[in-house]
Each structure stands twice: as structure tokens, then as C-alpha cells.
Amino acid sequence: MEIAELIDGCKKWHKKAQNELYDKYAGRLFAVCLRYISNRNDAEDVLQESLVKIYKNIDSFSYTEDKAFYYWMNRIVVNTALNHIRKNLKNKFDTDINQVENEFSGPDNAAFSQYDEIIEYIGSQKLFQIVQELPDGYRTVFNLYVVENYSHKEISEQLDISVNTSKTQLLRARKMLSSKISKIIDKNIFKEVV
């Protein structure tokens, strides 16, 4: 079934179309949930709530292209996840950018000259796991800024934090990510050498 037909069927509450939509997108949307919420049970709750919202509000979506539909669903999932985070993550954000050295050097290893080689080396699954392991505040800001392309101002409004806090979280997230990536590479290379 084409996406446009799928949307049309869901608008008419056809069970078959709803099932197909679920089968087609639930995996990707669950990954989005898990990027924001590390606890699997909470992520499942958020996904369930998001999917119900998607089915209920699909009438308001007018189809233009396939990508737009996924972005629309993604936005619903992210917003639902943010609601969950707002409820549960209060005061989990560090506040002052001055406390963080304003430097980012990225994962550094003599074995790789480019980041894409590093990412390719460790693989998407492992990278996903590393992002999941970031502290809640870091992970949320990192996801919003890097993956969803929010600005710091938008993040500060969404999470009810200051712009500086958002910047701080992002810098720390980057640093932590790069150091974890570096560690994994070092460990693996060491293993390979041994």
C-alpha cells in the first residue's frame, strides 16, 4: 500500500491501514523514543501514547510527500517524549556554561583521519547505545539540537531551561560522547592488536 493510500485508510479508520502503518513505522518511532528515554518501559508508554495521537489526529495531516508524513509522526513522538521528560526530569540539568570548558575536539584517534570512519567502525547500534547511556539532560538536549535541528532558544523554551543551560548540556554531551567513542575505539584496537 502506498503511503498516501495508507494515510487515507487511517483517516477512515480502516483497521488494515492502521495495522500496516504500525508495522511500517513503529520500529523507527520506537528508536526515536529510546533516544530520548533510556528506560524501556517509559519509552514503550511514550510510543503507545504517540501512536494513539497519530491515529487520532491523522485527519489534520495533508499528504504532500512520504518524507513529510514521517517528519510529522516524528514530531509527535518527540513532543510526547518531551512532555514525559518535562514531568520527570526537572532539576536534572546543569546550569552554567562557564563551568564547562568551551572546547570540543571530537573523538581523537590516530587510526582514523575522518569522523565518518570512526562512526562506521563502531557502528550505528553501538553509537545508539552510547547516546542512550548519556545522562538524561545531556541526551535530551543533544537529541533536540543534533538530530531534530532545534536551536538553543527553542530547546530552552521546550524544556523550560535557560539558553546557557542548553548550551552547557550540549557541550558536555558532545565531550562525553567523544570520550566514550574514543574509549571504545582504543579498547577495540587494543583487542585487535593483542
Partner 1 sequence: MKDSEKDFDLLIKNSLSDMEIPPPEHLKKGVFGKLSRYALVHKIKRYGIYILLFVLISAVGIFAYQALHEPTATLPENPDLHAGLNKEIPGNDLTKNQNNSIVNHRETKAGIINNGNNTNTDNTNKTTVTGNTKSNYLEKYPEKENKSYTNEIKSNSGNTADKDNINAKDKTHVKSGMVKNISAEAPTDNNDHNKEFTNNIQETTFKTKEQTDLNIIEKSNSPISENKRVVNSIPKMILLKNSVGSDNSLSIISAASPVKKKYNPLIWSAGFNIGQAIHQNPLIQLQKAQDENNYSFNTSLDFPSAIAGLDFRAEKKHFFFDFGVQYSHFSENIKSDDLLINPQSQQFYNFAGQTMNIDTGGGYYHYFWICDSIIRIIDSVWTWKIDSSFTDNYDTINTTVYDTLNNPEWKNSYTFIELPFSVGWQYNFGKINVGLKTGPILSMLIGTKGFIPAYMNDQTTQNAVDTEFRNFRIGLSWQVSAVVSYFISERILIECQPYSRFTITGIKSSSGYTLKNNSLGLMAGIRYYF
- How many Cβ atoms are within 10 Å of 66's Cβ, its own excluded? 13
Q: Does 119 bind partner 1 (CB under 8 A)?
A: yes
Shortest Cβ 95–partner 1 spacing (Å): 22
Between 56 and 90, CB nearer to partner 1: 56
Shortest Cβ 191–partner 1 spacing (Å): 22
Between 173 and 194, CB nearer to partner 1: 173
Please check whether residue 43 is in contact with residue 33, taking contact to mean a CB–CB distance below 8 angstroms.
yes
Between 31 and 194, CB nearer to partner 1: 31
Question: CB within 8 A of 32, min separation 6: which ones?
Answer: 74, 77, 78, 81
Q: How far apart are CA 53 and CA 178, in angstroms?
A: 36
Shortest Cβ 160–partner 1 spacing (Å): 24
Give the closest residue to 137 by CA, choosing from 37, 58, 42: 37
Q: Does 62 bind partner 1 (CB under 8 A)?
A: yes
Q: Does 52 bind partner 1 (CB under 8 A)?
A: yes
Q: Does 106 bind partner 1 (CB under 8 A)?
A: yes
Q: Which of 105, 179, 183, 187 binds partner 1 (CB under 8 A)?
A: 105
Shortest Cβ 57–partner 1 spacing (Å): 11
State the Cα torsion 121-151-66-56 to the nearest 10°.
120
Number of residues that bind partner 1 (CB under 8 A): 40
Conformation bin of residue 37: beta by default, left when phi > 0, alpha when psi is -120 to 50: beta
Between 34 and 76, CB nearer to partner 1: 34
DSSP label of 97? G
Type and span of the H or E element at 124: helix 124-133
Please check whether residue 61 is in contact with residue 6, taking contact to mean a CB–CB distance below 8 angstroms.
no
| Contacts with partner 1, residue ranges (CB under 8 A) | 13, 18-19, 22, 26-28, 30-31, 34-35, 44, 47-48, 51-52, 55-56, 62-64, 68, 104-107, 115-116, 119, 124-125, 127-128, 131, 145-147, 174, 177-178
